[in-house]
A and B are shown apart, each in its own frame.
Chain A
Amino acid sequence: QQQVKQSPQSLIVQKGGISIINCAYENTAFDYFPWYQQFPGKGPALLIAIRPDVSEKKEGRFTISFNKSAKQFSLHIMDSQPGDSATYFCAASSSGNTPLVFGKGTRLSVIA
């Protein structure tokens, strides 16, 4: 019940296209859903996060869509750029100061 399932494992997108990464969770106590971006040799960087009281959050080219009834959330990267090539992790946690449960990651490659 603590798992967060992420798909796809890898993704290749043309420059300018839309990258979509999906995550699903089981634990209904989760109420914080962040996405992290990790470049090789670096730690994960917080990209964008959402709470269940909204169905969508947008920051620049990055959008999180959240479906509470389906217990699913997704990251959309609009106008994908080669600089977006990285590994993306979804995560979830419960209220307050609690550990994050991570998906296994999606390796995104944006090709020109």
Chain B
Amino acid sequence: EAGVTQSPTHLIKTRGQQATLRCSPISGHTSVYWYQQALGLGLQFLLWYDEGEERNRGNFPPRFSGRQFPNYSSELNVNALELEDSALYLCASTSRDRGGNEQFFGPGTRLTVL
């Protein structure tokens, strides 16, 4: 069974630009979570998509947005990039038949904002 995949692996942008990150969940998983892992701050919840709908968002500004497609893959968009957006962005997927708690993470996208 293939795991969660994310692309690109690395992304370098300049301040003010937009970044788009992509995630494909494990086959059969319908929920996708996005987390930000900034240096020294641990993992912080960003967004949660389930069955194509945004279910919850963390304490991040509206310039962080995303969507989930009919095949349950997901996209995270970060507009008006700021230097402090530099971080590892992790996607995790889960399924309801596992109780919805067990989250499996992808390798992440390393975003660097210059």
A interacts with B: yes
Interface of A is mostly: loop
Interface residue ranges of A88-112 to B (CB < 8 Å): 89, 91, 93, 95-105
Query: Does B104 touch A at the CB level, under 8 Å?
Result: yes
A43-B4, A43-B90, A44-B90 known; A100+B45 contact, CB < 8 A: yes
Give every chain A residue within 8 A of B99 (Cβ-Cβ).
32, 96
Q: Say whether A89 contacts B56, CB under 8 Å.
A: no
Q: How large is the interface on B (under 10, 10 to 19, 20 to 34, 35 or more residues)?
A: 20 to 34
Q: A43-B108, A99-B48, A100-B45 are in contact. List 20 more A-B contacts (CB 8 A).
A: A32-B99, A34-B102, A42-B108, A43-B6, A43-B90, A43-B107, A44-B90, A44-B105, A49-B102, A97-B48, A97-B50, A97-B94, A97-B100, A98-B100, A99-B58, A100-B35, A100-B92, A102-B43, A102-B44, A105-B42
Where the two chains meet, the residues of A that have a C-beta atom closer than 8 Å to any C-beta of B are: 32, 34, 36, 41-46, 49, 89, 91, 93, 95-105
